[in-house]
Structures are given as structure tokens and as C-alpha cells.
Amino acid sequence: MSADAARIAAVALAEDGDTDVTTAVTVPPGLEARGIIEFRSGGVLAGAAYADAVAHACDCRIEWRGADGRTATAGELVGVLHGELARILRAERPMLNLLQRAAGIATATRAYVDAVAGTGCRVLHTRKTAPGLRGLDIAAVVAGGGSRHREDLSHELMVKDNHWQAVVRNGRSLAEALADARRRGVAALYVEVESPGQLEQACAAGATRILIDNQTPATLGGWAARARHLSPGVEIEATGGIALDNVRAYAEAGADYVSIGALTHSVRAADLAIEVRV
């Protein structure tokens, strides 16, 4: 069990208080039960490790019928929760909250991954995740077939519009800023650009990836070609305004990656339920 899953499980369970007073006065101790985990809406299963952590904290266990990343049909049984009835009732809602969010993210991600199939373009998450749930959200994107982007501010450099302003205000060059990052041991040097001039500066400074923000696929194609001419091997990421109806156009225009904040900030929860049987 990962430390992150255990942490999130503990927080989720703590939100329900120390005692389930209703269960305490209605359920006899020692009564065994099962909880049938049903994927009512169908979609991509995700969040199993986090559900397992909730189960473990409640002295229960889950018998899964498939791993994260598997597509389930509507109404399919995807797991069985075993334990005492009182403990199952304690685990039920926190477990479903995590599974529904994760499966919703994974299902949305799979739609984008399918939309760019055959192009070589990879789908990325962003840092627009629910506070405290970034590990869950990113794991769900990966379960849906997406790839990892930066998970925090510590390990990759990403120059965006506000950083551009700061560099100009301080009288430094972008090249100096990137050289400073290299001295700090940072290898991933990402620079977001909003104009051809910024694109040329980023390439000259040694950016390893160019993020082309809020441009049309046609503009991205032209800028990507220019960037690869100036800096062979540089990666191209499309960001801003990416949706299911245009993501393939960006991929075919030359994006190596597309980053989509909506995967996690506007997730539509999947419909899962636990049918308890005594």
C-alpha cells in the first residue's frame, strides 16, 4: 500500500467522525457481510489502491475482478468487499467517493487517448487537481492511458507568462534562467510560448520542451516546424483550449503531447455503487 493511499484513506475516514452512531445501535458485532461493487455507468476502472487502503483501515478486504485500466460494461461487478457489516458500512461512502472520482477521470482520459490513437501524441494531466488528491488524480489519468506530467514545482522547470514578465522585469535573459536551473540539477526545461519571438528565445535558451498555449492547430504546426528546425529534438506540447473535438487536429499538426486540465478539474464522477448482502 502506498503512503499516499493510506494518507487519503485516513483523511476520508476521519471526515465521518469517530463513531457511526446509527450502525452502533442497529448492527450486532461480528455479523459478516459482503459488498458487491458495481460499475453502474460503465467506464474505466481506477482508484483500486485507494479503495484497498480504505478497506484495510476498516479491517476489510476487496476481491477485485480486474485491475485499474480495465474497461467495464454498464452494471458490471468489478469487486467484492468482505468483512463485518459494521466495518463495511464504515468504509462504503469514503471508498465510493474515491472510486467514483478516479474512474471518472480515467474514463475521460481514455476518450482523449482513443481520439489521438495512431499519432504518437500522448495525453497529459496538469496540476489542476483536487487539493490533497493529486496522487489519486494522476494515478487515474495513468489508468486511463494518459502519461505523467510534472507533479509538483520542485523537479521540472516550467516558464509561463508570469515568469516571462519577471525575467524581463529583472533584466535577465531566458537563457540565464534556464542555465541557472541546469546548475540546480533540473533536466526538464519547459517553456510556454505565446508568440514566434518567445518561441525563438526558448529554442535558443535550450528549452527541452516548448508549450504552445492557446493557438490553433495550424499555428501550432507552423511553430512546431520552426522549433524543430532551430532545436532538433525539442518536444512540442499543445496546451489551452484542447477538447475532444479538436485534440486529434493538434496531434496531427505535430504535438508530441497535449495537456488537458479538464481531466481533473472538471471531472464527472462515474457511477459506482456497493450493494451490501448479509
The three grid cell numbers given for residue 154, joined into one nine-digit string: 520542485
Q: Can 101 be counted among the known catalytic residues?
A: no
Grid cell 465521518 — which residue? 16
Among the listed residues 38, 52, 92, 192, the single catalytic one is 192
Among the listed residues 70, 150, 160, 228, the single catalytic one is 160
Helices and strands, counts by H and E, the chain: 11, 12
Among the listed residues 7, 65, 70, 93, the single catalytic one is 93
Q: Can 213 be counted among the known catalytic residues?
A: yes
Q: Can 18 be counted among the known catalytic residues?
A: no
Residue 240 CA to residue 243 CA, distance in Å, equals: 9
Q: Would you say 52 and 9 are in contact if contact means Cβ atoms under 8 Å apart?
A: no
Q: Can 183 be counted among the known catalytic residues?
A: no
Distance between alpha carbon 38 and the CA centroid of its chain, in Å?
23
| Local structure of residue 273 (DSSP, 8 states) | E
Among the listed residues 38, 68, 137, 213, the single catalytic one is 213
Q: What are phi and psi of 3, to 5 degrees?
A: -60, -35
Among the listed residues 65, 70, 127, 128, the single catalytic one is 128
Helix H or strand E segment including 3: helix 3-14
Q: Can 252 be counted among the known catalytic residues?
A: no
Mind telling me the catalytic residues? Answer: 93, 128, 160, 192, 213
